[in-house]
Amino acid sequence: MRRTLALLAAILGVLAISACGGGSSSASTTGGSGGGSAPPKYDGKPVTITFWHPFTQRQADDMNAIVADFEKQYPNIKVVSRGGISDQNIIAAIRSGNPPDVAFSQSSDNLGEYCGTGAWINLAPYLAADHLSASAFPTAVQQYTQFSGDRCALPDLADAYGLYYNKTMLAKAGITSPPKTFDELTADAKKLTVFNPDGSIKIAGFVPVSTYYENAAAHYAPLWNAHWDINGKSAFATDPGWAKYLTWEKQLIDWYGVSKLTKFVSGAGNEFSPQNDFERGRVAMNLDGEWRVAFVTSDKSNVDYGTAPMPVDPAQPQLYGAGYTTGNVLGIPRDAKHKAAAWLLLKYLAFNNGAVEKFAEGLRNVPTLTSALSDPVLTGDPHFAVFLKIFGNPNTASDPITAIGSANQTMEGNWQQKWEAGSVSDLTAGLKSVDSAIDAQVANSTIGKAP
């Protein structure tokens, strides 16, 4: 019912726009909450807009299909899409004054830079002019698409992270259900690991190394209830969750042996190819995003697998079911040349229920429109439904948006590599040094900036 209503609304919207092509309408709603002047309206003239997105190959095809639908609705707007774009590309393009009309970023990490500086324009006036509201998105999504009250981005699908396990291997090792705590994960990983005659690792039960695939520390933080910052100060030393996570990780790494694991990891297949280690049975369990469901299908992998929430801190079993989430964010860069037409594409991608569902079904990503969360195609897939649940869990969290973008994650990651290799003797002192390095970088990056 809701779906048809949304569709109807979309059709009506299209009719309204095409009916008043001359621009004679009285749509001059005042800026509303955004406080700005009325945004420019698309005048219906033929226009070509550029659209940058991160997808490649199969996922790019899905993206392009949605864009093609959009172009069918707005025959005068031609969208030139460019895939394979990273955040670094977007940031550099904005700073160089030569950005696309619509930018699609796969993480909200840099939203602080996009919103806080006006690099992406405030969308509040556009929303108000079209009588749209961000309340159409789940609360968590509303939060990661704005920065300190400035709504500069809209969501289009989100990612939730969970555990993938190889059923055949678990059964062979006599494990009946996937692990629920990290202690169980360690025990299972040891049982599942197979060594070659020369002592090297043939099949790893679970690889905890932070540089491996999706194993970044950020994806573990919610599972240990660890926080990146407390009261604006980096919190690696002050939040005990980090030490617990790192100690657990180190113990498992040491069980394998650092050099054996390094060698194993360097033989990994490309993450987004059929040679992905999980898909070709080189690891028994893996932390990964919900998109892997679609990859397993499209790569024609014959892995018999199950999905579950990631295990959690044994001392906080109530966390089970939570996970890391992050979402795609879309925005219009400040120097975009065709903002009015860009807004139409943005609106279509974020608010059009049909578009969101079609895209979510294609990529097998979590939809970000509340109305699309009940899409039967998505909920009907047991592998995928797990991730919808993780997404809805109250303890599921993302990483905070900082003034230094993801520099804090880079700095933590560099240090963590040393920790994993065993070249850090004092964990607390090490974490303190990371904290002070990050705080110093934040101080240097924000000095002279308006508070």
Partner 1 sequence: MSTLPVAAAPRSMAPPPLSPSRRRAKRRAAWRRRRTVLLFMSPWIVGFSVFFAYPMLDNLYLSFTHYDLLSSPVWIGLANYRYLFGGDQQVWPAVSNTLWFLAIAVPLQVLFAFGLAMMITRAKMGVGIFRTIFYLPTLTPTVAATLGFVFLFNPATGPINSLLSKLGINGPSWFQDPHWAKPSLTLLSLWGVGNAMVIFLAAILDVPKHLYESAQIDGANALRRLYYVTLPSISPVILFSIVIAVIQGLQYFDQAYIASTSAAPGSLGNAGDNVSENLGYPQGSTLFYPLYLYQQGFGFFNMGYAAALSMLLLVVSLAVTLLILRNSKRWVHAAGGVR
Partner 2 sequence: MATVASEVRAPVIRRTIPWSVRRRRLLVAIADHSILIALAIVFLAPFVFIVLTALMSNQQALTTHLWPQPFKFSNVTHVFDTAPMLRYAGNTFMYASLATLGLVVSSVPVAYALACLRWRGRNLAFICVLLAMMLPPQVTIIPVYVMFAHLHLVGTVWPLIIPNWFGDAFSIFLLRQFFMTIPNEYLDAARIDGCGELRIMFQVVARMAKPAIAAVALFSVLLCWNDFFGPLLYTLQNPAHWTLSVGLSQFRNQYSVQWNLVMAGTIVFMAPVILLFFFAQKAFVEGITLTGVKG
Binder of residue 117, out of partner 1, partner 2, none (CB less than 5 to 8 A by kind):
partner 1
Percentage helix, strand, coil for the chain under 3-state DSSP, each rounded to 5: 45, 15, 40
Rounded Cα gap, residues 44 and 396, in angstroms = 43
Residue type (1 letter), 219: H
Interface residue with partner 2 among 4, 96, 135, 148 (CB under 8 A) is 96
User: Residue 266 Cβ, how far from partner 1 at the closest point, in Å?
Assistant: 5
Tell me which stretch binds partner 1 (CB under 8 A): 148-156, 162-170, 187-195, 437-445: 437-445
Question: What would the two tokens of residue 239 be?
Answer: 């939040």
Q: Give CA separation, 201 vs 143, 183, 248, 260, in Å.
A: 43, 21, 20, 7
Determine if 200 is a binding residue for partner 2 (CB under 8 A): no
Determine if 25 is a binding residue for partner 1 (CB under 8 A): no
Of the candidates 101, 420, 46, the one whose C-alpha atom is nearest the C-alpha of residue 249 is 420
* Tokens 């040491």, residue located: 254
Interface residue with partner 2 among 92, 377, 429, 440 (CB under 8 A) is 92
Cβ neighbours of 22 (radius 10 Å): 8
Determine if 85 is a binding residue for partner 2 (CB under 8 A): yes
CA 92, 119, 327, 353 torsion-angle sign: negative
Question: What would the two tokens of residue 329 be?
Answer: 């964010």
Binder of residue 1, out of partner 1, partner 2, none (CB less than 5 to 8 A by kind):
none
Interface residue with partner 1 among 65, 271, 370, 395 (CB under 8 A) is 271
Interface residue with partner 2 among 82, 172, 233, 263 (CB under 8 A) is 82
* Tokens 């113990």, residue located: 251
Region 86-145 residues binding partner 1, contact defined as CB under 8 A: 86-88, 91-92, 94-96, 105-107, 109, 113, 117-119
Determine if 89 is a binding residue for partner 2 (CB under 8 A): yes
Map residues 33-62 to x or -, x wherever contact with partner 2 holds by CB under 8 A.
-----------------------xx-----
Q: Are 416 and 246 in contact (CB under 8 A)?
A: yes
Pick between residue 98 and residue 251 the one whose CB is nearest to partner 2.
98
* Tokens 């900036």, residue located: 449
Q: Give CA separation, 102 vs 69, 189, 296, 308, 431, in Å.
A: 16, 44, 30, 35, 39
Element (H, E) at 92: helix 87-95
What SS3 class is residue 143? helix
Q: Are 431 and 242 in contact (CB under 8 A)?
A: yes
Determine if 336 is a binding residue for partner 2 (CB under 8 A): no
Determine if 118 is a binding residue for partner 2 (CB under 8 A): no
Determine if 28 is a binding residue for partner 2 (CB under 8 A): no
Determine if 73 is a binding residue for partner 2 (CB under 8 A): no
Determine if 54 is a binding residue for partner 1 (CB under 8 A): yes
Q: Are 329 and 111 in contact (CB under 8 A)?
A: yes
Tell me which stretch binds partner 2 (CB under 8 A): 270-278, 315-323, 351-359, 413-421: 270-278
Q: Which residues bind partner 1 (CB under 8 A)?
A: 54-56, 59, 86-88, 91-92, 94-96, 105-107, 109, 113, 117-119, 209, 211-216, 259, 262-268, 270-272, 291, 404-407, 409-411, 413-414, 417-418, 421, 423, 433, 436-437, 440-441, 443-445, 447-449
